[in-house]
């Protein structure tokens, strides 16, 4: 079959080498083995392929691994083609014979005028065969949104969307040159991230790698003369702001930046004389926005942000085209980030918006009247336009919108990213080696499992309603039921030891204080605990099944406190600092601090696993027999099991770093001997361009 690497199954477009399925422009990433299995079925269509033949073709005849994995992979393959808008039963099970495709694979139709060859490797350009179709479908929608960004009084005749990159891995944080002829971006492949340059005038010319460091670059900005790129790059030991010469790729370190900040934003003034970046001076209490005079060789960065007794934490920054203003995002809490306009002359802030939890990139239109930004809520990203004169805000049509950046002609580049989480189950008592299989998976994100054996119910969070609300399901994933309809993003569901009550945290609160909700399974009543203790970390039930343990910041560091839910009184739980914990019986507590995992039995406290081995804060679960935890490796992450009796550790599973959450805890089904945890589809991110033709 000539088109076995890219083909059509019903309304779905399939790209084997990219591990990708596309439906109406929506991309769904797949595991490699799923695509290998599909490829074998396509090659043999319309024949029935036996289980042994599939194990031979996909798992190279390894029956120990392949027998169990085949069943899981067939299930995952069916889920790929189960979108609610176009469910397709793609694989038929032929009893005692094997499997076969139910539809004829068809070749993708393409027009030579709309095809682009992939610039970074010599191979067929099948990924670009969908460009023309997608452009036609989205033309009307994109035109509608773009007409809200006037360039001048003249009317726009044609508006369009172009897919600029579509490579394996993720292309992140685009930065077009001022003249719009080149594009700097981050290309992340697995754990490797480097800065690249693409010639937009000659799309078939191979892209150029600009950095070759173990330090991961963030977002780059151009000097006005287009001779230099400025960006932050860091690893676990150092973070630095550098200037990269495009002539010889020589780097000049300008200053340092914080290694413990999750984001390293940067911006440059229109005259190229001032660099604004997210930094942290040695004596500063927290990171913030600094200004660096690039015209002075020995200049010291000057802090713009508040430093002591601050209600807000400045993060992202962008210069207005006239250089008189800065757009700054200011994080108030995990549930609120403000978008503000700062007048550099008057040194005054003006709030533009405070309705978002997480702002992901922003850029001024060249005419200075409009500011475009991306915002994320419940793992869904959208774009917005603010008219700075009228303060009217409009939502953009494209989904997955983040990190926008205009060139001088008003072409808007942005990162299109899709993230999806599901709850996976890993069998511990399998006679053969196996991989995790999806337990609760859909086209929405489902995460943070917590299990009640008393009622045989699994609690989890789902963003199906537009917010992360609390849901329940049977232990096999069936019978899903939405419990809360609070229209806010909840966090960290946790059953009591007895399994009769369930707590969940709300951080989307106007007063900035986390609140608790307690769900009583027997009475089906939901009770709100109106706390006033600020941020409380990840609360968990006390061993008595009545009180709740929360985290508070003290002079000594993070500490755990016992909260009496009737009187709202707090009492210190430990003499040591701690970030998180879990009771395994009424009087046995396990907790984590900077030295590792500890156990408290009565008044005795002992270190179980040192930090070198137990290097996670939250991705762990304790039973009375074992502690399951995620170990962060250099190239992979592992799931380990520590036996509390023998004090030995067993490696259970190795997975790619991006495939399961470093912060989400586990749940354990003792009867089924299965470990449940949050796993993610490999996130796919591409760069698109919105263009207005005058």
What's the confidence (pLDDT) of residue 434? 66
> How much is the average pLDDT of 398-410?
92
Of the listed ranges 268-272, 278-282, 668-672, the one predicted with least confidence: 278-282
428 and 377, same domain (yes or no): no
Q: Say if residue 119's pLDDT is above 70.
A: no
- Calculate the CA 110 to chain-centre distance: 33
- d(CA 440, CA 449) in angstroms, rounded, equals 10
Tell me the per-residue pLDDT of 49-83, one tens digit each, with 9 for 90 and over.
998 888 888 877 665 555 667 877 888 888 788 77
Asked whether the beta carbons of 443 and 420 are under 8 A apart, the reply is yes
What's the confidence (pLDDT) of residue 688? 93
Return the structure tokens found at 168: 């394996």
Collapsing DSSP to helix, strand or coil, 359 comes out as strand
647 and 609, same domain (yes or no): yes
C-alpha dihedral sign at 109, 166, 38, 134 = negative
Q: Say if residue 509's pLDDT is above 90.
A: no
Residue 138 lies in a domain: no
- Calculate the CA 165 to chain-centre distance: 19
What's the confidence (pLDDT) of residue 283? 79
**CB count in 10 Å sphere of residue 486:** 19
Return the structure tokens found at 105: 């694979």
- Strand 358-364: give its sheet, edge to edge: 358-364, 370-377, 380-387, 393-399
- d(CA 131, CA 127) in angstroms, rounded, equals 8
Q: Say if residue 12's pLDDT is above 70.
A: yes
Query: In the 3-class helix/strand/coil scheme, how is 177-196 assigned residue by residue?
Result: CCCCCEEEEEEEECCEEEEE
602 and 465, same domain (yes or no): yes
Asked whether the beta carbons of 317 and 305 are under 8 A apart, the reply is no
Of 251, 202, 258, 260, which is closest to residue 230 (Cα–Cα)?
Answer: 251
Most confident region among 122-136, 435-449, 504-518, 580-594 by mean pLDDT: 580-594
Last residue of a domain, which of 373, 399, 417? 417
Q: Say if residue 579's pLDDT is above 90.
A: yes
Most confident region among 27-36, 158-167, 236-245 by mean pLDDT: 236-245
Q: Residue 386: CB partners within 8 Å, gap ≥ 6?
A: 339, 352, 353, 370, 371, 372, 373, 392, 393
Query: In the 3-class helix/strand/coil scheme, how is 456-497 assigned residue by residue?
Result: CEEEEEECCCCCCEEEEEECCCCCCEECCCCCCCEEEEEECC
At which residue do the structure tokens 């579509």 appear? 166
**Total of domains in the chain:** 3
Return the structure tokens found at 500: 């009769």
- d(CA 219, CA 240) in angstroms, rounded, equals 13
Return the structure tokens found at 289: 């926005």
- d(CA 329, CA 278) in angstroms, rounded, equals 11
Last residue of a domain, which of 417, 444, 467? 417
- d(CA 448, CA 459) in angstroms, rounded, equals 8
Q: Which residues share a beta bridge with 582?
A: 590
Q: Say if residue 431's pLDDT is above 70.
A: no
Tell me the per-residue pLDDT of 609-652, one tens digit each, with 9 for 90 and over.
999 999 999 999 999 999 999 998 777 788 999 999 999 999 98
| 248: exposed, middle or buried (Cβ count in 10 Å: 0-12, 13-18, 19+) | exposed
Residue 569 lies in a domain: yes
Q: Which residues share a beta bridge with 633?
A: none
505 and 579, same domain (yes or no): yes
Residue 475 lies in a domain: yes
Last residue of a domain, which of 107, 141, 176? 107
What's the confidence (pLDDT) of residue 267? 97
Here the CATH number for the domain that contains residue 556 is 2.120.10.30
Q: Say if residue 151's pLDDT is above 50.
A: no
Residue 319 lies in a domain: yes
- DSSP letter string over 548-561? EEEEEEETTEEEEE
Q: Residue 318: CB partners within 8 Å, gap ≥ 6?
A: 267, 326, 327, 362, 363, 364, 371
396 and 427, same domain (yes or no): no
Strands 6-9 and 158-163: unpaired
Collapsing DSSP to helix, strand or coil, 105 comes out as coil
Q: Say if residue 404's pLDDT is above 90.
A: yes
Higher pLDDT, 379 or 230: 230
Angle at 44 between CA 38 and CA 46, to 5 degrees: 100
Residue 147 lies in a domain: no
pLDDT bucket at 94, cuts 50 / 70 / 90: confident
Residue 234 lies in a domain: yes
What's the confidence (pLDDT) of residue 69? 75
223 and 203, same domain (yes or no): yes
> How much is the average pLDDT of 3-13?
83
Q: Say if residue 426's pLDDT is above 60.
A: yes
- Calculate the CA 278 to chain-centre distance: 21
What's the confidence (pLDDT) of residue 67? 64
What's the confidence (pLDDT) of residue 633? 79
- d(CA 222, CA 230) in angstroms, rounded, equals 6
What's the confidence (pLDDT) of residue 122? 28
pLDDT bucket at 435, cuts 50 / 70 / 90: confident
- d(CA 273, CA 294) in angstroms, rounded, equals 5
Of the listed ranges 175-184, 265-274, 528-537, the one predicted with least confidence: 528-537
Q: Say if residue 244's pLDDT is above 90.
A: yes
349 and 425, same domain (yes or no): no
287 and 205, same domain (yes or no): yes
Asked whether the beta carbons of 589 and 575 are under 8 A apart, the reply is no
Cα R_g (the chain), whole angstroms: 27
68 and 96, same domain (yes or no): yes
583 and 490, same domain (yes or no): yes
What's the confidence (pLDDT) of residue 658? 67
DSSP 236: S
Q: Say if residue 309's pLDDT is above 80.
A: no
Residue 31 lies in a domain: yes
492 and 629, same domain (yes or no): yes
Here the CATH number for the domain that contains residue 19 is 1.10.10.10
DSSP 665: -
Residue 116 lies in a domain: no
What is the overall mean pLDDT for the chain?
Answer: 85
456 and 337, same domain (yes or no): no
C-alpha to C-alpha distances, 70 to 63, 156, 649, nearest whole angstrom? 10, 54, 29
Asked whether the beta carbons of 182 and 198 are under 8 A apart, the reply is yes
Q: Say if residue 574's pLDDT is above 50.
A: yes
What's the confidence (pLDDT) of residue 683? 61
Q: Residue 270: CB partners within 8 Å, gap ≥ 6?
A: 224, 319, 321, 322, 323
Domain enclosing residue 298, as ranges: 159-417
């Amino acid at each position: 079959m000539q088109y076995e690497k890219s083909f059509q199954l019903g309304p779905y477009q399939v790209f084997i080498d990219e591990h990708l399925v596309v439906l109406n422009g929506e991309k769904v990433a797949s595991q490699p083995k799923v695509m290998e299995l599909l490829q074998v079925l396509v090659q043999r269509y319309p024949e029935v392929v036996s289980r042994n033949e599939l194990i031979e073709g996909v798992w190279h005849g390894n029956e120990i691994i392949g027998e169990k994995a085949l069943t899981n992979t067939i299930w995952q393959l069916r889920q790929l083609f189960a979108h609610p808008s176009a469910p397709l039963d793609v694989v038929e099970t032929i009893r005692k014979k094997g499997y076969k495709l139910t539809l004829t694979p068809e070749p993708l139709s393409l027009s030579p005028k709309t095809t682009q060859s992939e610039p970074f490797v010599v191979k067929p350009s099948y990924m670009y065969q969908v460009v023309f179709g997608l452009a036609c479908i989205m033309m009307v929608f994109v035109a509608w949104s773009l007409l809200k960004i006037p360039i001048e009084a003249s009317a726009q005749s044609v508006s369009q969307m172009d897919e600029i990159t579509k490579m394996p891995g993720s292309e992140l944080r685009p930065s077009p040159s001022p003249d719009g002829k080149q594009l700097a971006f981050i290309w992340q492949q697995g754990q490797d991230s480097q800065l690249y340059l693409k010639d937009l005038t000659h799309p078939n010319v191979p892209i150029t790698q600009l950095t070759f460091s173990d330090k991961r670059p963030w977002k780059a900005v151009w000097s006005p003369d287009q001779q230099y790129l400025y960006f932050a790059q860091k690893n676990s030991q150092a973070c630095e702001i550098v200037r990269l010469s495009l002539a010889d790729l020589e780097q000049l370190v300008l200053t340092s930046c914080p290694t413990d900040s999750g984001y390293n934003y940067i911006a440059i003034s229109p005259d190229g004389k001032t660099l604004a970046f997210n930094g942290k001076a040695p004596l500063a209490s927290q990171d913030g926005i600094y200004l660096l005079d690039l015209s002075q060789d020995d200049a010291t960065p000057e802090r713009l942000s508040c430093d002591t007794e601050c209600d807000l934490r400045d993060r992202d920054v962008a210069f207005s085209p006239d250089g008189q203003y800065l757009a700054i995002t200011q994080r108030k809490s995990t549930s609120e980030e403000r978008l503000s306009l700062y007048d550099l002359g008057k040194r005054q802030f003006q709030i533009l918006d405070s309705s978002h939890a997480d702002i992901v990139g922003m850029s001024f239109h060249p005419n200075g009247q409009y500011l475009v930004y991306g915002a994320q809520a419940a793992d869904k990203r959208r774009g917005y336009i603010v008219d700075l004169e009228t303060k009217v805000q409009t939502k953009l049509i494209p989904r997955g919108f983040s990190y926008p950046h205009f060139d001088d002609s008003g072409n808007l580049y942005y990162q299109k990213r899709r993230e999806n989480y599901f709850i996976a189950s890993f069998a511990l008592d399998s006679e053969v080696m196996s991989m995790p299989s999806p337990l609760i998976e859909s086209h929405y994100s489902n995460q943070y499992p917590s299990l009640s054996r008393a009622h045989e119910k699994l609690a989890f969070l789902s963003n199906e309603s537009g917010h992360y609300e609390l849901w329940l399901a049977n232990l096999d994933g069936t019978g899903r039921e939405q419990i809360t309809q609070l229209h806010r993003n909840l966090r960290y569901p946790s059953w009591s030891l007895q399994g009769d009550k369930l707590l969940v945290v709300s951080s989307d609160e106007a007063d900035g204080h986390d609140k608790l909700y307690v769900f009583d399974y027997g009475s089906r009543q939901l009770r709100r605990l109106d706390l006033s203790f600020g941020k409380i970390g990840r609360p968990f039930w006390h061993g008595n099944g009545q009180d709740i343990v929360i985290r508070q910041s003290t002079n000594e560091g993070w500490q755990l406190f016992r909260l009496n839910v009737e009187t709202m009184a707090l009492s210190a739980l430990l003499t040591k600092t701690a970030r998180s914990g879990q009771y395994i019986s009424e009087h046995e507590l396990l907790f984590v601090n900077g030295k590792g995992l500890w156990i408290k039995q009565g008044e005795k406290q002992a270190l179980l696993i040192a930090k070198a081995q137990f290097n996670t804060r939250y991705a762990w679960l304790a039973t009375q027999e074992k502690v399951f935890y995620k170990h962060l490796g250099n190239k992979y992450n592992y799931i380990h099991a520590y036996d509390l009796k023998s004090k030995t550790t067993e490696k259970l599973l190795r997975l790619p770093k991006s495939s399961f959450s470093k912060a989400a805890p586990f749940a354990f089904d003792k009867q089924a001997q299965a470990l449940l945890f949050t796993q993610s589809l490999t996130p796919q991110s591409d760069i698109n361009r919105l263009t207005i033709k005058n």
